Structure 1
């Protein structure tokens, strides 16, 4: 584990690589947890976490699947690469956070009351329409369920820069 001050410097200086899980049940509902930590504190968000130094993507996937959902095996569908920019960081100081995220859609049929509470205070199944309309579901989570939404928003930003 990195010393806290070194990790703060890294977060404020470089992008982090993470894995997020778009967790679906057999009724096509989406599992979200209410975050208790920065960034995205107090927002509903998908489970996931950082890839650690010297950890392969495959190792991180297996570790996070176990830590976040208690799973050792599941059906996996890679959804794409996303970027998340936050105006805050885990430390609560003035630094921002930038993630490059590998998103995977997975199936889950477990009991949500047994899920860990280190990152999320509560868990809930959302229908797609409810998720997209809910004001406390984080925009980065919504992007996973809006086809090409992040690409469209980035293109609009580039167009504004050119004009």
Structure 2
């Protein structure tokens, strides 16, 4: 995701945005037929090395649904359908990309969607792995625990 954003917004300008603004994002909950949640392992800050929901920045004039479809396609190579908004959350991190010491703040719209086939699932260069989890792990960020619980109620 960082490389795509930087292609659209010069890196120095994006760094200033991250230092000054909360960034609108979409995070996507997808379950397989066994009820396991699709997660990606982040390669970049914030949350580098941690399992996280697929998702990312919402672009200007992009709907939440379209952003969710784009992020699933970009991050795991799959086609998302039946997108439903679960709720709005926020995440605040002490670390940010590009060595930002002031951290990052995002407003996260959580959606739940369906995937017809997981046959061609693969991660992009911004993530080191993609995996399904049945249970929420104790070490996960509090946002993930709350968001996944809320999505499973929908």
- Normalising by structure 2, we get a TM-score of 0.81
Which of the numbers 138, 146, 156 marks the counterpart of 2:149? 146
Q: Is the 8 A contact 1:18 1:49 kept in 2?
A: yes
- The residue number in structure 2 matching 1:98 is 105
Which of the numbers 114, 118, 122 marks the counterpart of 1:110? 118
Q: Is the 8 A contact 2:37 2:134 kept in 1?
A: yes
Which of the numbers 15, 18, 30 marks the counterpart of 2:22? 15
- The residue number in structure 2 matching 1:2 is 9
Shift of residue 14, structure 1, vs aligned partner: 0.5
Q: Is the 8 A contact 1:78 1:104 kept in 2?
A: yes
Q: Could you say if the C-alpha distance between residues 61 and 33 of structure 1 is closer, same or farther in structure 2, counting changes exceeding 3 Å? A: closer
Shift of residue 120, structure 1, vs aligned partner: 1.6
Residue 86, structure 1, aligned to residue 93, structure 2: yes
Secondary structure of 1:65's match? helix
Shift of residue 96, structure 1, vs aligned partner: 1.3
Q: Segments of 4+ in structure 1 off by > 4 A?
A: none
Which of the numbers 49, 56, 69 marks the counterpart of 1:49? 56
**Larger-gyration structure (1/2):** 1
Deviations 1:24-57 (A, max 9, x none): 0111001111110110101100101101234333
Q: Could you say if the C-alpha distance between residues 88 and 24 of structure 1 is closer, same or farther in structure 2, counting changes exceeding 3 Å? A: same
Secondary structure of 2:149's match? coil
CA distance in 2, matches of 1:57, 1:106: 12
CA distance in 2, matches of 1:59, 1:105: 13
- Normalising by structure 1, we get a TM-score of 0.77
Q: Could you say if the C-alpha distance between residues 56 and 40 of structure 1 is closer, same or farther in structure 2, counting changes exceeding 3 Å? A: same
Q: CA RMSD in A?
A: 1.9
CA distance in 2, matches of 1:54, 1:33: 26
